[in-house]
Amino acid sequence: MALSFKPDNLMIEQLKTIQAKLGSLYDVLIALGEAEREFIAKQAFISNIGSSTRIENAVLTDQEIDWVDTVLSEDARPTAFKKYRDVIFNKLSKDKERSIEEVVGCREMLEFVYSEYSNLKPLREVDLRGMHSFLLRHYPKAEHYCGRYKPNTNRVVMLNHETGESDIVLDPASPGPITDAAMKDLFDWYNLERQENPWPLLFASELTFRFLAIHPFQDGNGRISRALFLLSLLQSEDKYISEVAKFVAIDRHIEADRAAYYLALRQCSDGKFKQDPCDYNLEPIVNFFLRAFERSLDDVNIYLEKYHKLQSLTEIESKVLETFRSRPETKLRVSDISEATDLLKRSIQNAIKTLVENGFLQKSGRGPQVVYQLVF
């Protein structure tokens, strides 16, 4: 069956449940208008960027990433970030510059995956190196290893945010011949077996773990592994999975359960790389990915509901919301919005009330200290 493990009956039943949900969601998506589909895809795209980078300890919120994406989308050329770099850095806090570089790189890598997945058959080493180059090309310190396999030993670690200590999750493949051989085996396996596997979600899960266990690059392996999971689904011969994958943000659910994610990675390998993938216990990470993917399917209805709420906003409500979007990291008072627009305070207050009720803004503080902030 092209997998290094045999799924048990419980796993098969869960896959059947997911497949039924996929079929229903597929019918919903193909019945939507183009604007609705584009909105849902954009929400998933932003969420995947945000979660995948925050898993690796970046700090940008989805609201800030949405703003950065909007700025860069105005100029789709590869030089867009270079052109708007100062605008973006001046808008967001100075301590977020490294996170911005990570977000922009992840955005460009995922754009490549979403737009080129059908052309990446077979998947080649040059394609993977290209993904790594997209990911790190805005990080000057990565210039000497960007797009190249690791020259030094690296480890998968989990940072304990409470203690500041790092726990070793996995000692991956050694750099050099062992990594080169393991990656060749991985490419051969993926390209030979991709179309033959009856369970694309299991296949994508094994691909992701085996890549992480090798950890071929010096930096960026986690973000690339999650992009490979998405790529594998987009390339699936199952039309339900390949279509729905464009509209889900599985990384959001990995981020939400990060400790369980790292625990599953460790349980699969006992913390050590194994040359024979059959020596891994892949069930923990497969079960984790199945749960995360199933939860991500429910997000589509949330995104669709948000789209319809946006369409129902009045011109004044839309103008107030846009004021918040132009200042994605700022908490605003009514007086701030009044100064930024030509709107009356009473109109602003009424608009804010609607925006809070509809889940676009959140309120904090009391009395004169009341402020509002975007909700993604």
**pLDDT for 30:** 96
- Tell me the backbone φ, ψ of residue 371, rounded to 5 degrees: -135, 165
Q: Enumerate the domain spans of the chain.
A: 9-301, 313-374
Query: Do 54 and 96 form a contact (C-beta atoms < 8 A)?
Result: no
Same fold, 9-301 and 313-374: no
Give pLDDT, residue 196.
79
pLDDT for the residue 1:
54
Instruction: Note the Cα 27 to chain centre separation in Å.
Output: 24
Contact 205, 195 (CB under 8 A): no
Instruction: Pick out the chain residues at pLDDT < 70.
Output: 1, 159-162, 164
Helix (H) or strand (E) holding 168: strand 166-170
d(CA 174, CA 132): 19
What is the reported pLDDT for 161? 58
Q: Is 350 within 8 Å of 313 (Cβ atoms)?
A: no
Which pLDDT value is given to residue 227?
Answer: 98
Q: Which of 114, 156, 153 is nearest to 134 (CA)?
A: 114
pLDDT of residue 376: 75
Sequence-distant contacts of 325-329: CB under 8 A, at least 24 apart: 325/63, 325/66, 325/67, 325/70, 325/374, 326/67, 328/61, 328/63, 328/64, 328/66, 328/67, 328/92, 328/374, 329/61, 329/63, 329/64, 329/92, 329/93
Predicted local confidence at residue 282, as pLDDT: 96
CATH number of 313-374: 1.10.10.10
pLDDT at 162: 65
pLDDT of residue 160: 66
Q: Can you tell me the distance from the alpha carbon of 174 to that of 164, in angstroms, rounded to the nearest whole number?
A: 27
Level-2 CATH architecture, domain 9-301: Orthogonal Bundle (1.10)
